[in-house]
Amino acid sequence: MTLIFTGLAEAAVNFKGGQISSSSGSLKTEKPAERPDLIFTLSDFDSSHLNLKLSKFDAIRFERRIGIGAPLDRASQWIGLTRRQAIEKTISELENHSDNFKMPLWFSEMTPVSFMEDGLRRERHSCGLKTFRHSLEGAWAKEIIETSTPQFERLALFWLDHFSVAFDTYNQTHSFANHLKIIRENSSGNALEFLEASFYDPGMIVYLNNEQSTVQNPNENLAREFLELFSLGEGAYSENDIKNLAKAISGHGINYVTEQFQIFNSKVTKGDFSAFGEKYSNIEEFMELISKHPSFGEFFARKFYVEYVELNEPSKEDLAYMVTAFKESGFEIKALLKATLSLKKFWDEKNKLSLVKSPIDLLFGTIRTLGTAGNAGTNFLWAVDASEDFGQSLFNPPNIAGWPVGKEWLSGQSLEKRLTKLPKYFSKMHVATTTVEKMRQSEDKRALRAAKFSQKYQQNLKEFFSSGSKEQFLAETMVINWIPEDFATREYGDINVAFYNVSFMGKKWDGITVRFGTDVNSKKKQEWKNINRLGFNQGSSHPPAISNYNDGWVSDWDGHRGWETSFPRGPHEKFRKKKKQEQLLMKRLLQSMQIPLENLSSFNALMTNKDAQKWLRDRLNEVGLDEINTHNGKQPPVKIFSLLKSPNSSKIKKERFNCSLMRTGESLAGTFVRSSEKLTENFNHKEFVSTETSANLSQLLLPALNVKLENEEALSLLGHEGYQLK
């Protein structure tokens, strides 16, 4: 049987190892070897070096390494403190940090459209999905610039890279936004809780194809990357550990309408599993086994060392100290950071300029240090694009392993591009006040237009739903996702239809996907054929189109349950066993096909398929188009608010479906492009006076040189090779 699901393409990334594993019971695993080399007596740690006080140059270097850039107010606060006090203050700020990151309105107020992506694409109806990514990038960039706790933003970027997911692979707006939400909620929390959250992360599930996992063929991608790239690192687990974990999470998927996490019982592998020589029956028990693994913590410690200290391997003693401090805290991320910053190597004079700035660190660090958006005046989103030009796309890492590391950032022509382009972005330190004001007025006008459009669209939509009666099937829009060209001769001729924002019998649906079709040409025995049929797939409507799928079948492709019936007439009318309201829903769904038949110009796939048109008309004649008595007189049983193209029927309100940012009154010209509130005034050169307790601009930009250039001349340091390092 051919099943069509919308919004999910083949994976655009390659993953190591096999894609599937056997489901025949739990495979035997071995207990890992002990790691005495990772055990350290914390009371033996020599912390005497932490009693030294920070000079002006120490303070600048410290701020550049724990945060992003070195704004004068941030760097100045460390001067005169002991190293110990600076570390304690850093951790204290993290503990008291309240994340101000705000998701765009579309995340909470708009249903995603990926479940009808095929239909949108066929009709060339653009929702501007890339602008959804840009709005998220703008929100994230705003936090980087405005934050008073840059050590949190550095951690958030670190974990964004660690749990690497690319937006453009699937363009699933809400699953990716949920991924970002999980990242930010856990960036300075508990590592075990963070790791466990990845099993329920819809963005991760989609990116690593776990929604295609089945009991018979568990997909190994998420299990493999969890062990290799998220928790333990290569060599600390076996292939059987991977295969068993893949079975344990085979039921983890997403609802295709909402893009939210969902467990599918038909995909769940029953029984106990084995990991590291021990049994477990659920993810909570598996996480307990992970926490007791002798090597757990080493992988994180090594990555923190490269992120904060140097690109070389840590000494055995330093690594053992970091892992032990991490473990004894119960694997708190702040404890690992504190241990990392406490290493003597972190403060070593010989360790200056041993780390390479990532493009985001370089560009946003410069913006923060100078206190200006540069030549753009009121727009700092250029820095997101410039980072991508320099090799780091904020929400599109190159693969599951994440962004390049260290010197990889400077390979090929990358260094030359940085040295040439970066100074040009800040060649105008002062943008005229009148110019800035004109930019803002223009942005405000575009934002106001978006708000007015949204208000009108939402008001019309509200009136549409309120004007209907209970027994009318009301939907904001409908699309035909798929019709085979050989509908009349195909073994299974299905018409896949999606409805967006539905109201019926006092119930609301974010979306419903249904299949109409015929199996008259199928090779099944005659007694098993439905002839004419209607079907649903579990997870393709929200809430479910029918309350019970138990009398259905399980898909070999993704393990979800499907359900179908002869409809409206045929030998297997299973729909008659469903609730009356569900039966009426099925009738309304078929009756809705009168809309595309009356407006063929808005449904290209149907317009060019005469056989499908005839089949649908025959089915509609069977079910009828009975009008409904309402307080406004007799009305049709189905009403659609908008179509993808201007409709050609006076029976339909002439609205065009809107699924862009403007739907919620947002625009990239407004809220997300406006310069950060912390950059409303350009950099004031007079702030910088070189003293023992304050730095001039050249010292802030490149403290290792200790030069005292005039502030305008200091901008030449942006093109210095040393400015690429920290």
Q: Report whether pLDDT(1) > 60.
A: no
**What is the torsional sign of CA 79, 84, 86, 89?**
negative
H or E segment to which residue 410 belongs: none
Residues 28-54: tens digit of each pLDDT: 999 999 999 999 999 999 999 999 999
Range with the poorest average pLDDT among 127-131, 293-297, 326-330, 612-616: 127-131
Mean pLDDT of 262-273: 94
Residues 207-249: tens digit of each pLDDT: 999 999 999 999 999 999 999 999 999 999 999 999 999 999 9
| CB-based burial, 371-404: b 16+ in 10 Å, e otherwise | bbbbebbbbbbbbbebbbebbbbbbebeebbbbb
Q: What is the pLDDT of residue 689?
A: 45
Residues 96-136: tens digit of each pLDDT: 999 989 999 999 999 999 999 999 999 999 999 999 999 99
State the DSSP string of 472-490.
SEEEEEEEEEE--TTTTTS
Higher pLDDT, 665 or 346: 346
Please say whether the beta carbons of 271 and 25 come within 8 A.
yes
Confidence of residue 677 (pLDDT cuts 50, 70, 90): low
Q: What is the pLDDT of residue 446?
A: 78
3-class SS of residue 564: strand
- Interacting residues of 422 by C-beta distance below 8 A, sequence separation 6+: 362, 363, 366, 718, 719, 723
The separation between CA 458 and the C-alpha centre of its own chain, rounded to angstroms, equals 27
Q: Report whether pLDDT(366) > 50.
A: yes
Long-range contacts of 677-682 (CB under 8 A, 24+ apart): 677/146, 678/145, 678/146, 678/371, 679/145, 679/367, 679/371, 679/372, 679/373, 679/380, 681/371, 682/371, 682/372, 682/429, 682/430, 682/431
The separation between CA 534 and the C-alpha centre of its own chain, rounded to angstroms, equals 34
Phi/psi zone of residue 69: left (φ > 0), alpha (ψ -120 to 50 degrees), beta? left
For tokens 């040439």, the residue is 420
Q: What is the pLDDT of residue 373?
A: 78
Residues 86-98: tens digit of each pLDDT: 999 999 999 999 9
Please say whether the beta carbons of 110 and 664 come within 8 A.
yes
* CA distances to 88, 98, 173, 197, 664 from 108, in Å: 37, 20, 12, 20, 10
- Interacting residues of 460 by C-beta distance below 8 A, sequence separation 6+: 641, 653, 655
Q: What is the pLDDT of residue 12?
A: 34
Q: What is the pLDDT of residue 433?
A: 59
Residues 139-168: tens digit of each pLDDT: 999 999 999 999 999 999 999 999 999 999
**What is the torsional sign of CA 594, 600, 603, 609?**
positive
Q: What is the pLDDT of residue 443?
A: 73
Mean pLDDT of 634-659: 80
Q: Report whether pLDDT(392) > 50.
A: yes
Confidence of residue 13 (pLDDT cuts 50, 70, 90): very low
Q: What is the pLDDT of residue 494?
A: 95
Q: Report whether pLDDT(427) > 60.
A: yes
Q: Report whether pLDDT(606) > 90.
A: yes
Mean pLDDT of 345-353: 93
Q: What is the pLDDT of residue 679?
A: 56
Mean of per-residue pLDDT scores for the chain = 90
Q: What is the pLDDT of residue 19?
A: 37
Helices (H), 163-220: 167-170, 173-186, 191-198, 202-207
Q: What is the pLDDT of residue 678?
A: 57
Confidence of residue 9 (pLDDT cuts 50, 70, 90): very low
Residue 492 CB neighbours (<10 A): 18
Residues 573-599: tens digit of each pLDDT: 999 999 999 999 999 999 999 999 999
Q: What is the pLDDT of residue 696?
A: 81
Confidence of residue 434 (pLDDT cuts 50, 70, 90): low
Residue 77 CB neighbours (<10 A): 14
